[in-house]
Structure 1
Amino acid sequence: MEGLQLIATGGAQPSRVVTNDDLSRIVDTSDEWIVTRTGIRQRYFCSDEENAATLAIAAARQALERSGLSPEQIGCCVCATLSGPNATPSVACQVQRALGLPENRPALDVNAACSGFVYATAVARGLLLTLGGKYALVVGCEALSRLMDMTDRSTCVLFGDGAGAAIFRLADTPFAATLGARGSDAILTGGPNRAGSAPIQMDGRAVFRFAVEALPRCLHEVLDQTGKTLEDLDWVVCHQANGRILDHCIKHLNADPAKFYRNMDRHGNTSAASIPVALNEMAENGQLVPGQYLACIGFGGGLTWAGMLLQYKGANQ
């Protein structure tokens, strides 16, 4: 089976840290209110000089350097984002130019909101199988602070900016992916930096009901496709939306909480950047060990959901 192995990661954080106490000076909220309802303590916001593309370039450059590959070895570049600074050029094309990736390879953006990184990885695998090549660069990047109404405490406390990147290798390895969508405006926003665009709006209860159904279903689907069990997995890396969602799903699955990585306390909800930012932190902290099996589960605006199961090999393995 020609699946994907994760061999290297990279990440980038904006320069501005925004704590819950900072937000309490803008809207009627408090650190206790935010933490108890979401698990979030801080997040990062872009400065005027930073955006989703600058973060994507930094994360992608780091992942490429760690992989030990040359730009010529990258078969495709796919970026997941809903908050790129321009309609065109795409963030992926800006990454291609900055890193000097070959011009005869595809570079494109994917918008599946919080499921975007897994969608983009599936697209990258399809491109490698169709056009040839062994290695794919996949990036998740967001500048959601540009899309928020900072007077709406139901949303402005949730989201943050950031980018994560991954290098994948096509290999004969256990791999599975599941993708889906259900058209809904439970999470709704206009486009970035466009006059008259709507800020992020969200029906929190509807999103919670959707997420606690979608997450276990995606996990079971990729386990069934590979013949593996939850016990076979070393890590489950979910979209970092809300601590209560993870708590509910872990209890429903009767799973070991230690297998479910969490970093929403430090980053908030970074949409398409959420999963790759987590993967990069895990790699940097030594929590990812070559040979481990991971499930990555995304869910969010669209509504969309996505899951994949793959192996971490590390560079030079």
Structure 2
Amino acid sequence: MIKRAVVRGVGHYLPDRVVPNSHFETFLDTSDAWIRGRSGIERRHFAAEGQTTSDLGARAARAALEMAGMQPDDIDAVIVATSTPDLTFPSAATMIQGQLGMTRGFAFDVQAVCAGFVYALSNANALILSGQAERVLVIGAETFSRIMDWTDRGTCVLFGDGAGALVLEAEDGAGETADRGILSTDLHSDGRYRDLLYVDGGVSSSQSTGVLRMEGKEVFRHAVEKLAQTAHAALDKAGVSAEQVDWIVPHQANLRIIKATAQKMKLPMERVVVTVQDHGNTSAASIPLALSVGVERGQIKKGDLLVAEAIGGGLAWGSVVLRW
């Protein structure tokens, strides 16, 4: 028998404000057709004034806990993947812990930009396998609308705000591929590519927040190659083949990247959970959002084999294979 980190609940939260592509036509040289053609995005959600990343994350966490049938104090650890925390410190995770009324356990943030949720899941899995935690709340939450350059039509039309959460619990498995829970993880980063996707401000460098900068064509090229590689590596570690995968749940950055990665993995789009058209790129929130929506739609069912993969600034990338 071995321990597995099994999903007990999933939930998400999107801010009330829905922003269609037509919004950008009012102040940028762009169009709905151009944005759809380039990214597949049709609309996204923006946080309200005064609404913070921890607010979004706490709402998603409550939904996941409700599905799991758990209370906040049943949780041992909270891990939040975010690049847009409320404050420089303390962590968004401790703020969410406070909002939930959770008075025990520990909480911390993980920062790997769009790959953040995959990194957070990997950390949660390690905590459970090592016995440091029995139940872990893993959250991806972002307010990327706060770091946009609204004059840059190549970036500001792509991003949105939102949050998603999973509750993981330790369960005995047989050590076989039929086990429920996380079967493998695969993480990578390469700091040589930092200038391809970054925010041009920070505490130590400029004492400012800064705005997002991206070399879109280069990011696209790296994304397709690296996402397919990490997904296959994680599948190999888990001892399963791509043909056995029920659903790819990719980082929802760009429909063209999603399609190209699926093609490289030789999997049809009918087996890919796609939400980018409704949410835009919500960075670390995109995978848990897609998981929650996939369950809500009736796509993802108990026992399904999933691959979640993502790439973000750093560059940082990775994947997780899990049985729902």
Q: Which range, TM-score by smaller chain? A: over 0.9
Q: Provide the residue aligned with 1:16 in structure 2.
A: 17
Q: Provide the residue aligned with 1:176 in structure 2.
A: 184
Query: TM-score, normalized by length of structure 1?
Result: 0.94
CA contact (8 A) 1:40 1:266 kept: yes
Query: TM-score, normalized by length of structure 2?
Result: 0.92
Which of 286, 298, 304 in structure 2 is aligned with 1:292? 304
CA contact (8 A) 2:4 2:129 kept: no
Of all paired residues, the percent bearing the same amino acid is: 39
In structure 2, distance between residues paired with 1:253 and 1:120: 24
In structure 2, distance between residues paired with 1:69 and 1:196: 39
Letter in 1 for 2:22: D
Structure 1 unaligned segments of length 5 or more: list them.
Answer: 313-317
Letter in 1 for 2:119: Y
- Report how many residues are paired: 311
Which of 233, 242, 256 in structure 2 is aligned with 1:221? 233
Which of 241, 252, 270 in structure 2 is aligned with 1:258? 270
Alignment of 1:299-314 (within 5 A): 299-312=311-324
Alignment of 1:278-289 (within 5 A): 278-289=290-301
Moved more, 196-205 or 139-148: 196-205
Q: 1:289 to 1:192 in 2, by over 3 A?
A: farther
Alignment of 1:45-124 (within 5 A): 45-103=46-104, 105-124=105-124
CA contact (8 A) 2:202 2:210 kept: no
1:199-225 CA-partner distances (Å, limit 9, x unpaired): 100000110111011111111011101
Letter in 2 for 1:33: W
In structure 2, distance between residues paired with 1:180 and 1:44: 30
Q: 1:102 to 1:124 in 2, by over 3 A?
A: farther
Q: Provide the residue aligned with 2:42 in structure 1.
A: 41
Local SS of the residue matching 1:156: coil
Letter in 2 for 1:175: L
1:10-66 CA-partner distances (Å, limit 9, x unpaired): 111112111110011121100000001100011111111212110001000111111
Q: Provide the residue aligned with 1:154 in structure 2.
A: 154
Structure 2 unaligned segments of length 5 or more: list them.
Answer: 174-178
Local SS of the residue matching 1:266: helix
In structure 2, distance between residues paired with 1:276 and 1:121: 10
CA RMSD after TM alignment: 1.6
Does residue 1:189 correspond to 2:190, yes or no? no
Q: 1:128 to 1:100 in 2, by over 3 A?
A: farther
Moved more, 168-177 or 108-117: 168-177
Q: 1:91 to 1:31 in 2, by over 3 A?
A: same
CA contact (8 A) 2:242 2:265 kept: no
